[in-house]
Amino acid sequence: MATFKFDFPNTMFGISQTKIPEGMPRDESPPTRLMTVGSSFTRRLEATLCISAIAGLIAWPTPADAHVKWFTSFDVATPARPFSETLLSAWFWLAVAIAVPLFAMTAAVQRTVIGNKILVLMDRAAEPLWNRADDFVRVVTGAFFVAIFVIGGVYLTPDLHTHSEWVSWTQLAIAGGLFSRRTMWLSATGILVLWVAALHQYQIFHLLDYLVLGLGVAGYLVLFSLTGSWWHRQRFNVLYWAIAITLMRSSFEKFAYPEWFQPLAQEKPFLTFGMPTDVFLPMAGVVEFTLGLGLLWTPLVRRFSAIALLVIFNAAVVPFGRLDLVGHSLIVMMLVIATVDPTRDAQIAPAFKRVIVSVPAGFVAALAILAPTYWSLHMALYGH
């Protein structure tokens, strides 16, 4: 499989001010001239707890999360390793035994005064970017499509090759449509057109890796243009669901096709921290799945999960270069938004998510829903 390298110029886009939502919690404590020793200690404790919680999330044996299909040969039609083999792995259950309690502990911290203070500190730090969140999404999306227009020969990602010249011009038109709210729905349509065009050349099982992600960006662009409506307020939730489902589904590749990762592990052994792949991949898959699920949970869990994933994706740029940087730019954009979003209420089942026992229940439910669909679809399409 050919490896592509991107070389693209810096791109500037016009931006406009976006107002911060009303009712966002802020630190309302009155200023004081004299800072007591107690208040100084409290602030240091809050900062230490915040840093410790983030470090706890990212101190996992996670891979430099490059998309393996961009850097090695693969065939999605080959038999997938049964999920039952993964369930028999002690390393899988070890990762679950660490990830799920850590998930639950983070959810529990949010219910405390300390958790609320951490969120207030994060709100304060993220406010400048959150004020321009919509502009940020449009700039990154536009830069992505300009980059793949410049390189040419791909539909939406480096592994979806094409020789059709109209595809590149459609990508440029998608970027151009982002300048105006009135034409953003046309850009969304263009994204879906490229996905459908790629479907004629590539197998549906392969294209499903990018369906949810493509729908997430296209859905955001449509909802953004519906100013003043309830749908407009859901535009960022569409991004969160898109990236969460994409990450949870892609984690199954580590269980189903461990052989795809062997060449990379041999070429770059530091990716697995020196561990054998049969030890590393089950644990890495659990981490990716859990962090993806965390993006749909309570605000503190969502933000810490996003920060951990940002560290992982940015770390992959060092060994894999610009190809990984550009290819994952839309994912990174979504993770940044998930990090800076000050919204406090979960959109779906907020009362359920605030209960600690809901964490293992949610993990099991998500795994029970998504894993069978992955293997069942593969069996239906390829007969094994």
Radius of gyration for the alpha carbons in the chain, expressed in angstroms and rounded = 21
Domain with 264, as residue range(s), is 41-47+64-382
Q: Is residue 365 part of a domain?
A: yes
Q: From the CB of residue 218, how many other CB atoms can be counted at a distance below 10 Å?
A: 23
Q: Which of 340, 333, 344, 345 is nearest to 131 (CA)?
A: 340
Domain assignment of residue 272, yes or no = yes
Over residues 256-292, the pLDDT tens digits come to 988 888 887 777 777 777 788 888 999 999 999 999 9
Q: Are 112 and 63 in contact (CB under 8 A)?
A: no
Best CA proximity match to 198, nearest among 263, 153, 146, 233: 153
| Identity of residue 113 | V
Give the per-residue pLDDT at 330.
Answer: 92
pTM of the model: 0.79
Q: 359 in a domain, yes or no? A: yes
pLDDT digits (tens, 9 = 90+) for 78-106: 888 999 999 999 999 999 999 999 999 99
**What does the DSSP assignment read for 300-325?**
HHHHHHHHHHHHHHHHHHHHHHHHHH
Decide if 79 is inside a domain. Answer: yes
For residue 131, being part of any structural domain is answered with yes
User: Looking at the domain assignment, is residue 10 inside a domain?
Assistant: no
- Is residue 8 in a domain? no
| Cα of 4 vs its chain's centroid, Å | 23
1-20 in b/e form (b: 16+ CB < 10 A) is eeebebeeeeeeeeeeeeee
| Overall number of domains in the chain | 1
In a domain, residue 357? The reply is yes
| Predicted pLDDT of residue 64 | 40
Q: Which of 108, 59, 67, 102 is nearest to 290 (CA)?
A: 102
User: Which residue positions in the chain have pLDDT lower than 70?
Assistant: 1-72, 346-352, 354, 384
